Each structure stands twice: as C-alpha cells, then as structure tokens.
Structure 1
Amino acid sequence: MTRDATDTRLRLRLLFPGGGMLGPGKADLLDGIARTGSISAAGREMRMSYKRAWTLVETMNATFRAPLVERSRGGTKGGGAELTELGQEVLDRYRRLEDIACREGAAEIAALSDLLGDMSEEK
C-alpha cells in the first residue's frame, strides 16, 4: 500500500544495530516494485532516478540475510524486478509496525504534536 505525500500518519525509521535502516522511502519503493514489477517504474512513481532506486535496492539486498528484490534482465519481456519472499515479509512486517505504532501510540503522538513549535513563520 503506497502512501502519498499528503499522508500525515506516523512514518517509522528503523535503525538496526550494525547500521541497517528501513524507513518510509525504502518501504514505498518495495511497494512500488511489487506493484509495477520494475525498479525504474517504482522509482519514477516516487520521482526518483533509476540510479537512486537501484542504490536503495542494493542497500536493502545487502542489509538483510538474503535479497529483498530479484531483478531479471532483458529477454523477450524486457526484464523486470520482483520482491522475494523475504522482501514481501519485510514489507508486511514494516507496515504492521507502522499500523501498531499509530494505533497504540496515538495519545503520545498527539501529545508530542501539541508540543511542537509554530513553524508557520519559519523561525
């Protein structure tokens, strides 16, 4: 489920021991790849260059115990990409964590939001 720029829900950035990260951009890229079957198409949807999208895919593939995205080259169908079973599991678990954090942390998120300064005049 891809989320648009107007989505005001909490977005998680997970920082793992050893330097691995998973956040909204990578999750949205995985969503796009699953939906379009293409790294470049998913990147275009996000207004991201192919190089940037491919770099993020390479980073995720190297971070987890096995690749999250598999790419196929050329051929009669022109190649493409798809999430591996692990890639789909990682995306599903990340989205569930987002939902849990929003639901269970709603009161704390609201309280923190109330503590934010007024940025309308760009202090």
Structure 2
Amino acid sequence: MKIGPLWLKVQIACGDALAMGPGKADLLEAIIAEGSISGAGRALGMSYRRAWVLVDEMNRCFDPPLVETLKGGGRERGAKVTATGAAVLQAYRTMERDAAAALDGAAYALLRANLRSEPAGQG
C-alpha cells in the first residue's frame, strides 16, 4: 500500500523463502478467479513458469499446501486454492488492512515529516 513517500508491505517469511506477500496474495486470488495457474499468470501478466514457481514456494512453506493442481481432462483440470489457502489469504489481507491503519498514526506522521524525497548526495 503506497501512500506518498512511505508505504508498507506485509511479507511473511519461511526461513529464507518468502511464504506470502502482496504478489502471492494476488496470485491466489487470480487462481480462485481463473481456475488455473496458467490463467492466473496470464491475468496478472506473468509467465506460467513464474506463477508456478510462486505457487510451489507457497506450497512448500505452508502445511497443508495452499494450492492443489487438478489432473485430468475437461472441466476437472486446472488448480484450486485449498481451504487452508483461502484462510491464509483472508488472514494476510486482514494483516494488510491492519498495517494500513498504522498510516493514520503519529509514528507514520513523524516518519513522513522527516523523510527526504530522495537520498542526500554523498559527502
């Protein structure tokens, strides 16, 4: 959430991996809407490979996995966000809203008042 010179980005780490962040949350929402990883990737302007790598990283970070792929033909193929995936997505979006509330606080006002618009030149 970018507002003026300061913005907040909620990221959830799993060891050295990024388990969840704004892009992965958007990807989960796109999988829900599109019913497939490839369709979600297209909707977000990313390659299938990139979308698959992000899904794989999320699935390795959460137990049970957030996305399951459906093998087979016809309407039964594609991918779906699991119940855990939907719950994690909802919790993440709640954390984003909670973090956004900090933008109304005194700490944000102090940081914004003292933050340069660009880094100062080297001395």
TM range (shorter): 0.7 to 0.9
Q: Point out the more displaced range, 66-75 or 87-96.
A: 66-75
Deviation at 1:115, TM superposition (A): 3.3
The structure-2 alpha-carbon separation of the partners of 1:23 and 1:67, relative to structure 1 and needing over 3 Å to count, comes to same
Match of 1:112 in 2: 111
2:111 alignment partner AA: L
**1:14–1:113 distance in 2 versus 1, CA, 3 Å:** farther
Aligned pairs for 1:1-123 (under 5 A) are: 8=2, 10-16=8-14, 18-21=15-18, 22-77=20-75, 79-107=77-105, 108-119=107-118
Which protein has the larger Cα radius of gyration, Structure 1 or Structure 2?
2
Q: Given the superposition, is the C-alpha separation of residues 111 and 33 from structure 1 closer, same or farther in structure 2, using an over 3 Å criterion?
A: farther
Q: Which string of whole-angstrom CA distances, capped at 9 and with x for unpartnered residues, describes residues 61-105 of structure 1?
A: 111111100111241226111110100011000000001111145
Tell me if structure 1 keeps the 8 A contact 2:28–2:81: yes
Separation in structure 2 between the aligned mates of residue 116 and residue 79 of structure 1, nearest angstrom? 50
- What residue number does 1:3 align with? none
Identity over aligned pairs, percent: 42
Higher strand share: 2
My pick for the range that moved more, 94-103 or 18-27, is 18-27
Look up the SS of the partner of 1:11 in the other structure.
coil
TM-score (norm 1): 0.79
Which amino acid is 1:8 matched to?
A: K
Mind listing any 5+ residue stretches in structure 1 that lack a counterpart?
Answer: 1-6
Residue type of the alignment partner of 1:91: L
TM-score (norm 2): 0.79
State the Cα distance separating 1:106 from its structure 2 match: 2.7
- AA matched with 2:16: G
Count of residues paired in the alignment: 115
Query: Which stretches in structure 2 are left out of the alignment for 5+ residues?
Result: none
Change over 3 Å in CA distance of 1:110–1:47 after alignment to 2:
farther
Question: Alignment RMSD, CA only?
Answer: 2.4
